Structures are given as structure tokens and as C-alpha cells.
Amino acid sequence: MTLRIDRVGERVRLSGEFRSEHLPQVKAEMDQSGSRSVLDMEEVDLVDVEAIHFLNSCEARGVSVVNASAYIRAWMMQERERRAR
């Protein structure tokens, strides 16, 4: 499965598998959405570690990451804690 990216105003909605090769496309869509962009992960069912690092960097910059599954949130937290050590 690939990644589908839909942009509605400031919201960038992702569907499918979010992997490192999709990062340039997602970044470009977010840049077009402006400084108050929101990344909606409701329909993402698979990510890789580079995507997790990207999501953490988004939140660190003030970008809202919403509707992420429990496993994605847990992995994000685990990576933040690992990098803090």
C-alpha cells in the first residue's frame, strides 16, 4: 500500500503506510498549508522509524499531530525518551 496525502486548508491528512520515502512529499504539503498546519494520522496504519522521528520533530516545532493510533503514539514517546538519554 502507498501513502495518500490530502490537504484541506491547514490540515494534511495521511492514509496508508507512512515511510521515509514519503517524507519529501509530506513536507511539501505541510509547507503549502502554512505555519499552523495540522498533520492528521487517522488512517495511517504503518510507519517506519524515520516517520516517527519526523512526527516528533513536527510536534517539537509546534505542528499538531492528531488522530495517531496508540501504537504510533507509544513509539513516538519511546523514541523521544531514547533520544533524551
- Write the pLDDT tens digit of every residue in 23-55: 999 999 998 887 788 999 999 999 999 999 999
Containing H/E element for 46? strand 38-47
CA distances from residue 69 to 46, 55, 65, 80 in whole angstroms, order as listed: 10, 13, 11, 17
The residues that bridge with 84 in the sheet, in sequence order, are none
What predicted TM-score, i.e. pTM, was given to this entire model? 0.93
